[in-house]
Structure 1
Amino acid sequence: MIDVLVSKPLAKAIGPRRETQRHLDCLTRQIAARAGRQAITAKVRSRARRRSGHLLSQQELADRLTFERWRELDALTCGLRLQEQIIDECKRRDDAPGLPIAG
C-alpha cells in the first residue's frame, strides 16, 4: 500500500532500502542453496567411495560459504543499517511539528 502522506525524501529513502534488503535476502538464499547442493554432493561421493569419514553438515558448509562472502554481506548489512537510520531521521522530521507561520 502506498502512503500518500509520506514525504518525498522519505519515499526516496525507502526504495533503495527495499532493494538492499532484496539483495541481502537473495544472497542468503544463494548461500543456503549452494550449501545444500554441496552437502548432497559430498554425501553421494562418500557413498561411492565407501568411506565413512566426517561429512560436513549443511550448516557447516553454509557457515564456510558465508565466511567466504563476508565482505559482500557486511557491505550490504552496513548499507541497510545506514538506510534505516536515514529513514528513521526522515520519519522523525516528518513527525515534528511545523514552524509557526509568521503573519
Structure 2
Amino acid sequence: MIGVLLSKPLAKAIRARRETQRHLDCLTRQIAARAGRQAIMAKVRSRARRRSGHRLYHQELADRLTFERWRELDALMWRLRVQEQIIDEYKRSDDAPGLPIAG
C-alpha cells in the first residue's frame, strides 16, 4: 500500500522523469531532422552522390550534430539516471513494511 505522504513525491518524481524524457526525445528528433535537411541540401548541391552515400552522409551529419550538442544530451541523460534512482528509492520505501495506517 502506498502511503499518502510517499505517493505525492513519487508522482512528482515520475512527472519530472517524463518531462526530462520528452525533452531528450525532442532534442533527438531535432538533431535527426536537421541532419536530414542538411543531407538533402548537400544532395541537391552535389548530384554526384545520386545513388550511394546519402544514408551514410545523413548518419555522419547526425553524429556531428549529436557531438555538437553532447553537453546538453549528457546532462539530460544524467538527469534521467538520477530521477530513476529517486523513483526506485521511493518505490523501495513504499514496499518496506511500516506502521499500520490508523483509520
TM-score scaled by structure 1? 0.82
Alignment partners' CA distance in 1, 2:23 and 2:49 = 39
- Opposite residue 34 of structure 1, the aligned amino acid is R
Question: Larger relative contact order (C-alpha < 8 A, sep ≥ 6)?
Answer: 2
Alignment partners' CA distance in 2, 1:51 and 1:14 = 46
Alignment partners' CA distance in 2, 1:22 and 1:100 = 38
Q: CA deviation at 1:99?
A: 3.6
Deviations 1:14-66 (A, max 9, x none): 1111000000000000000100000000010012xx689x8761111000000
- Opposite residue 71 of structure 1, the aligned amino acid is R
Gaps of 5+ in 2: none
Alignment partners' CA distance in 1, 2:100 and 2:12 = 27
Gaps of 5+ in 1: none
- The residue number in structure 2 matching 1:26 is 26
Alignment partners' CA distance in 1, 2:100 and 2:59 = 58
Q: Please, what is the CA RMSD of the aligned residues?
A: 2.5
Alignment partners' CA distance in 1, 2:49 and 2:33 = 25
How many residues align? The count is 95
Alignment partners' CA distance in 1, 2:12 and 2:94 = 14
Matched, 1:95 2:80: no
Cα distance, 1:86–1:45 mapped onto 2, change above 3 Å: same
- The residue number in structure 2 matching 1:68 is 68
Are the equivalent residues in 1 in contact too, given 2:43–2:49 (CA < 8 A)? no
Alignment partners' CA distance in 2, 1:21 and 1:30 = 14
Q: CA deviation at 1:84?
A: 0.5
Q: Which structure features the higher share of helix residues?
A: 2
TM-score scaled by structure 2? 0.82
